[in-house]
Amino acid sequence: MPAEFFLKNKTASSFRSILILLVFFSVPIWSAQTILLKNGSSIKGDVTGQNEKTLTVRTADGVQTISKRSILKVIYKDVNEEEAKRIRQEEETKIREAKSAEEKKKIEEDAIVQKPDSKISGTRSRWSLVWRSAVLPGWGHYKAERKKTAIVYGSLFWGGVVATAFASQQIGQKKSEYESSTLIAQASGNLAAGEFYVSGKRAEYKKSIQDYQNIAAGTALIYLIQLTHSYFTGISWEQEEVALTPEGSVLRKGVQLDSMRESNLMNPNSTNSLGWRAEARYNWFF
258 contacts 244 by C-beta, under 8 angstroms: no
259 contacts 278 by C-beta, under 8 angstroms: yes
- Same-domain check for residues 67 and 168: no
CA dist 199 and 178 (Å) reads 9
47 contacts 76 by C-beta, under 8 angstroms: yes
Instruction: Look at residue 267 in the predicted model and tell me its pLDDT.
Output: 55
Per DSSP bridges, beta strands 71-75 and 54-59 are: unpaired
Instruction: Look at residue 30 in the predicted model and tell me its pLDDT.
Output: 40
- Same-domain check for residues 156 and 51: no
Instruction: Look at residue 280 in the predicted model and tell me its pLDDT.
Output: 64
Q: Residue 6 pLDDT more than 50?
A: no
- Same-domain check for residues 130 and 23: yes
Look up the pTM and report it: 0.44
Q: Which domain holds residue 86?
A: 33-124+242-283
Annotate 82-148 with three-state secondary structure: HHHHHHHHHHHHHHHCCCCHHHHHHHHHHHHHCCCCCCHHHHCCHHHHHHHHHHCCCHHHHHCCCHH
Q: How many CA atoms lie within 13 A of 31 on its CB side?
A: 6
pLDDT in tens, 119-151: 444 567 888 889 999 999 989 898 888 888 899
- Same-domain check for residues 140 and 16: yes
Length of the chain: 286
- Same-domain check for residues 63 and 133: no
Give the amino acid at 285: F
Helical (H) or strand (E) element with 72: strand 71-75
Give the neighbor-by-neighbor strand order of the sheet with 54-59. Answer: 71-75, 33-37, 42-50, 54-59, 62-67, 254-263, 274-283
Number of structural domains (the chain) is 2
Give the amino acid at 132: R
- Same-domain check for residues 83 and 193: no
Instruction: Look at residue 20 in the predicted model and tell me its pLDDT.
Output: 45
- Same-domain check for residues 174 and 233: yes
- Same-domain check for residues 97 and 206: no
pLDDT in tens, 192-233: 666 666 677 778 888 888 888 999 999 999 999 999 999 998
35 contacts 57 by C-beta, under 8 angstroms: yes
Instruction: Look at residue 54 in the predicted model and tell me its pLDDT.
Output: 84
- Same-domain check for residues 143 and 215: yes
Q: What pLDDT band is residue 63 in, cutting at 50, 70 and 90? A: confident
- Same-domain check for residues 217 and 274: no
- Same-domain check for residues 139 and 178: yes
Instruction: Look at residue 113 in the predicted model and tell me its pLDDT.
Output: 62
- Same-domain check for residues 161 and 172: yes
Q: Residue 286 pLDDT more than 70?
A: no
Q: What is the percentage of the chain residues whose pLDDT exceeds 70?
A: 61
Q: How many CA atoms lie within 13 A of 45 on its CB side?
A: 19
pLDDT in tens, 219-276: 999 999 999 999 998 888 877 655 545 444 555 555 555 555 555 545 555 555 555 5
Q: What share of the chain is helix, strand, coil (3-state, %, to 5)?
A: 60, 20, 20
Closest residue by Cα to residue 109 from 151, 148, 52? 52
Tell me phi and psi for residue 54, to 5 degrees. Answer: -130, 165
Per-residue b or e along 200-224, where b marks 16 or more CB atoms closer than 10 Å to that residue's CB: ebeebbeebbebbeebbeebeebbe
186 contacts 194 by C-beta, under 8 angstroms: yes
59 contacts 42 by C-beta, under 8 angstroms: no
